[in-house]
Amino acid sequence: MQKSQSILFTQEEGKTNISHVFLPDLLSGQTLALNLETRTLSLLTDGPLLILERQFSANEIRVFVPLVETYPHYCPYEVLLAHLYSNSVSTATIAHCRQRLQEAEARGIRQQELRPIRRALSSLRTKLRYFDLGISTVREMGCSLISLKSHSHWLSS
């Protein structure tokens, strides 16, 4: 399956790090501009014209970035955990977080281990509603970005 989004996380020396995110399945004709330095997400339309802008907390941005990077697929909890706790995420970091979650499951404290992720996701959901975006939970596995426009249509039917 081919990804239907494009995101660039690059920073040139002396320039602001603004990434443009295209999610045609979620935001038709609109673009998200993500400024990691100020933790600001902006919704742009052709022109470009600024439609909406919200600032996120550090933890909200840390879980938002991997959700965008894995879209349209779900983002596993171990990846979210790795982004939440590490500034430099690698396959080794993700493997460590996977093991951490497995050990927490064995000790019966998985929900406690996921609490920081759930807290960040809860506040992120509130802010993403302004962009007509939501976060869907894939039971015991992870989360994914969704369009609230398409979900509200079938919910109201």
Structure token digits, residue 21: 């995110």
- Stated pTM of the model: 0.82
Note the pLDDT tens digit of each residue in 94-152. 999 999 999 999 999 999 999 999 999 999 999 999 999 999 999 889 999 999 886 54
Classify 15-156 by CATH class.
Answer: mainly alpha
Task: For 19-37, give one letter per residue: b (16+ CB within 10 A) or e.
Answer: bebebeebbeebbbbbbee
